[in-house]
Amino acid sequence: MKIVVCVKQVPATTDAKIDPETKRIIREGTKAVLNPFDLYALEEAIRIRELVGGEVIALSMGPESAKNVLTEALSMGADRAFLLCGREFAGSDTWATSYALAKAIEIVGGVDLILCGKQAIDGDTAQVGPGIAAKLNIMQAANVMQVDEIENGTLTVRRMNERGYDVVRLQTPALITVVKDINVPRIPTLRRAREARRIEIPIWTYKDIGADPDKIGLAASPTRVVRTEPPAIRNTDTLTISGAPAEAAKLLVGEMLARGLL
């Protein structure tokens, strides 16, 4: 099975603190990491390869520094990795990004399965996975929590929803996006991590993937960010209740009723 995993480099949130004024999270520094959901997609791809054989290819679009997350993918066990990079791609929204990744997947050729994380933790849109499936005109399942069965030409998965889950059968080639529940990602071995650092990651420009320059980048993106602002400031007064449990409970229930919360 030929599997492509789409991964994204995102800003880390681990160093962030809360702003005492706005009570919102402030992000310090710009340390970049592999999008957490993509770890589960990579792990699942590697497990499928271990089960049925084949190849795992990691694919990303981003600045040259995004090679780091592809090296991480290789150290987990991906066989090859490619980076879509170039100023022509800059400013792409989810539509233009889906187009570029779909073109790259066509260039890889003969791909049976595409895995993505549920969403990236910076944009939180969850749009690129279904966007790629749309461009390639293949079946999709989002929020997959378990792969039940892989047979010749089909893939049976459980996808999570608000009230439970559905079991669906997809014809391959297909695209799935995965949630954290699907597996526990492996820790790369030192040996594999060393090997991974020596694997060359080719950079593909828009020409290499045969992309129409009128369909990538900011100019080709249907959506445009017109402004950004901090979210509304939360009520900054904290009402503290303490004391004996029965007393505290009485105060809390009284306060909740007074504020119309119950």
Partner 1 sequence: MKVNEYEKKEYRNIWTISEILGGEVLPVSFELLGIARELAAKRACEVWTVVLGSGLGGAAESLISYGADRVILVEDPRLGAFNDELECHILERLTAKYRPEIMLGAATNRGRALIPRLAGKIGAGLTADCTALAIDPETGELLQTRPAFGGNIMATIRSVEYRPQMATVRPKVMRAPVPDLNRTGEIIREETVPEDAAGIKEILRVVERKESSVNLSEAKIIVAGGRAMGGPAGFQLLEDFAKRIGGAVGASRAAVDNGWIGYPHQVGQTGATVQADVYIACGISGQIQHLIGMQSCKTIIAIDVDDTTPMMKLADIAVKGDLFEIIPSVINELDERVRA
Site for partner 1 in 214-253 (CB under 8 A): 221-231, 234-235, 237-243, 245-246, 248-250, 252-253
Rounded to whole angstroms, how far apart are CA atoms 77 and 43?
A: 8
CA–CA separation, 12 and 172 (whole Å) = 34
Say whether residue 92 binds partner 1 (CB under 8 A): no
In a 3-state reduction of DSSP, which class is residue 119?
coil
Q: Is 29 in the site for partner 1 (CB under 8 A)?
A: no
Window 105 to 124, contacts with partner 1 (CB under 8 A) = 121-124
In the complex with partner 1, the residue whose CB is nearer, 57 or 142, is 142
Tell me the CB-side half-sphere exposure of residue 194, using CA atoms within 13 A: 3
Chosen residue from 53, 109, 163, 187 binding partner 1 by CB under 8 A = 163
Q: Does 187 bind partner 1 (CB under 8 A)?
A: no
Which listed residue (132, 147, 178, 211) binds partner 1 by CB under 8 A?
132
- By CB under 8 A, name the one of 60, 75, 92, 127 that touches partner 1: 127
Query: Which part of the chain contacts partner 1 (CB under 8 A), choosing from 64-72, 82-90, 91-99, 199-207?
Result: 91-99
Task: Map the footprint of partner 1 across residues 44-83, applying CB under 8 A.
Answer: none
Binding partner 1 (rule: CB under 8 A), the pick from 34, 81, 126, 211 is: 126
Indicate whether 152 belongs to the interface with partner 1 (CB under 8 A): no
- Rounded CA-CA distance 3/56 in Å is 5
Taking the least distance from each CB to partner 1, the nearer of 169 and 192 is: 169
Hey, how many other C-beta atoms are within 10 angstroms of the C-beta on 28?
A: 11
CA distance 63 to 57: 19
Question: Which residue lies nearer to partner 1 by CB, 180 or 192?
Answer: 180
Cα–Cα separations (whole angstroms), residue 20 to 26, 31, 178, 235 = 10, 23, 35, 11
DSSP letter for each residue of 208-219: TTT--GGGSTGG
